Amino acid sequence: MTTLSMKTEFHPELEDYLQHVLKDIEQISNERKELLNEFTEYIRAKKEAGEEIKLNFICTHNSRRSHMGQLWAQVAANFYEIDNVFTFSGGTEATAFNPNAIAAMERSGFRVIKGIGDQNPRYEVSYGKKSPKMVLFSKKYDDPVNPSTDFAAIMTCSEADDECPIVRGAEKRIPLHYEDPKAFDGTPLEAVKYDERCRQIAIEMFYVMSGV
């Protein structure tokens, strides 16, 4: 089993969470691996060419799955010491980073600080003592803070995939759909389903980066 690198300095709770993530990588189905391997090949090719690796996770509202993808891809790249990986997220429309998704990320070990704004606050997210703060908020995929050229568009929901037949500036488009935990908002299964989606995305991002 892969063990945590001594060079990484993740928050203790996140480090514990990652031990379970690494164990569960082998449970990914072969069908799912085919999609993920395409993602790995894109990153590997960019790395070998010495180019920046820009990954934009796109969902309809940029409120749940796309933010989870952005965070976990950055952590996985850090874990495997893959340089020049920059992760982003966006939607076909802007809403807000959902509180239930934030709570799931906090339960996995991320530390989140709410910043300015009421309708669409900006959050500072960290995954280690010395990790750079990641600023997350809901935005359209072509927002000025996101890359406009030479990036991979990772489509995390089928709705966004259908609504964006063309993602301007993307050199690679990867359909990597996840079920929306929003369906369980306000139900007894709310936290369970958000945690399930958080864990699935974590496992798959680690699988992707482990192959680079």
Would you give the DSSP letter of residue 149?
S
Check pLDDT > 80 for residue 1.
no
* Euclidean distance between CA atoms 47 and 115, whole angstroms: 34
Check pLDDT > 50 for residue 2.
no
* pLDDT band, very low/low/confident/very high, at 7 (cuts 50, 70, 90): low
* pLDDT band, very low/low/confident/very high, at 163 (cuts 50, 70, 90): confident
CA 72-126-65 angle, 5° bins: 35
What's 52-102 look like in SS3?
CEEEEEEECCCCCHHHHHHHHHHHHHHHCCCCCEEEEEEECCCCCCCHHHH
Check pLDDT > 90 for residue 164.
no
* pLDDT band, very low/low/confident/very high, at 5 (cuts 50, 70, 90): very low
Q: Which of 3, 39, 5, 43 is nearest to 22 (CA)?
A: 3
pLDDT of residue 160: 74
pTM of the model: 0.94
CA 92-97-103 angle, 5° bins: 145
